[in-house]
Structure 1
């Protein structure tokens, strides 16, 4: 994925995006942890949530400064 367009954004905007992705990953991990303790998700829902967390983390890593 080419991130040059992202890198040209003002630093403050880049930080907002990175913070948002960090928050999304953290919230997903917390939801996953709670759901596993309660047993409130099906295996399909758990897999979907894990996929969402993984994709947000991967995107966050692509946008991180080198």
Structure 2
């Protein structure tokens, strides 16, 4: 994925995006942990949540400065 356009954004905007992705990953991990403890998610829901967390983390890593 070409991140050139992202890196041309002002640093403050880049940081907002990165912080948002960090928050999304953290919130997803917390929700997953709570759901696993409570057994409140179906296997499909757990799989979907894990996929969302993975995609947000991958995107966050792509946008991180080298």
TM-score by length of 1: 1.00
Aligned length: 66
* Offset, 1:61: 0.1
User: Structure 1 regions of 5+ residues with no counterpart?
Assistant: none
Deviation sequence 1:6-60 (CA, Å, 0-9, x none): 0000000000000000000000000000000000000000000000000000000
Counterpart for residue 55 of structure 1: 55
Counterpart for residue 32 of structure 1: 32
Q: Which runs of 4+ in 1 moved over 6 A?
A: none
TM-score by length of 2: 1.00
User: Structure 2 regions of 5+ residues with no counterpart?
Assistant: none
C-alpha root-mean-square deviation of aligned residues, in Å? 0.1
